[in-house]
Amino acid sequence: MRNLAIITAVMFLAACGGDEHQDLKEELKTIAKDLRGRVDALPVVKPYEPVPYRAFELSDPFGPAKIELATGAAAKSKSGANAPDATRPKEPLEAYPLESLKMVGTLSQKGLTYALVRADSSLYRVKPGNYLGQNFGIITGISDNQINLKELVQDASGDWTERKIALQILEAEAAKGR
């Protein structure tokens, strides 16, 4: 039995060792020749040409001449015809925004009309020529129901312009005083 198994194994090995697949091997070689990849030639690259910098002819935005012009314009706007007096001592009511100030009444003494203005919990007596608010507002006139002001505000270009505004009396406060 053992010999039979050896003989069968030798026959199987002999059957596999034949040259019957030689034609397949040759066919695969011819197909492999045709399947080789072909790389196209590289395109011609244009040589790099640097672009010359020509902005030297333009004005430098950070140059000393530009800075002097800007600071000169700022100084001009600070000292222009309508510019507020920076050396004038501030009055107490200039510390408050105009929206937080309330006119609560008027007072007449010796022919001069005063206005009574409330800021926080304090009451102030003001007359024409006094300053109110944070926009350099000067009182130009006082009537029974309002204070007329001329404010100086800076526009987008840095110039000072005048703006007329009125601070109205509070109706509830006026009714209490009657």
pLDDT digits (tens, 9 = 90+) for 97-126: 999 999 999 999 988 999 999 999 899 999
Domain range summary for the chain, segments of one domain joined by +: 95-177
Distance CA 82, CA 76 (A): 11
Q: Which two tokens stand for residue 159?
A: 């110039």
The CATH number of 95-177 is 2.30.30.830
Distance CA 123, CA 116 (A): 7
Determine the pLDDT at residue 5: 78
Determine the pLDDT at residue 172: 59
Residue found by looking up tokens 């110039």 in the block = 159
Determine the pLDDT at residue 8: 79
What Å distances lie between residue 92 and 63, 123, 126, 132, 168, CA to CA? 43, 11, 11, 8, 20
Determine the pLDDT at residue 173: 54
What Å distances lie between residue 162 and 49, 155, 159, 166, 176, CA to CA? 59, 10, 10, 13, 35
Determine the pLDDT at residue 142: 95
What is the rounded average pLDDT for all residues in the chain?
Answer: 81
Q: Is 114 helix (H, G, I), strand (E, B) or coil?
A: strand
What Å distances lie between residue 18 and 10, 23, 27, CA to CA? 13, 12, 18
Q: Which two tokens stand for residue 60?
A: 């430098």
Q: Which two tokens stand for residue 64?
A: 């000393």
Query: Is 145 within 8 Å of 105 (Cβ atoms)?
Result: no
Determine the pLDDT at residue 119: 92
* Intervals of the chain under pLDDT 50: none
Q: What is the DSSP string of 41-64?
A: PPPPPPPP-PPPP-GGGSPPTTSH
pTM here? 0.53
66 CB-near residues (< 8 Å, 6+ apart): 59, 60
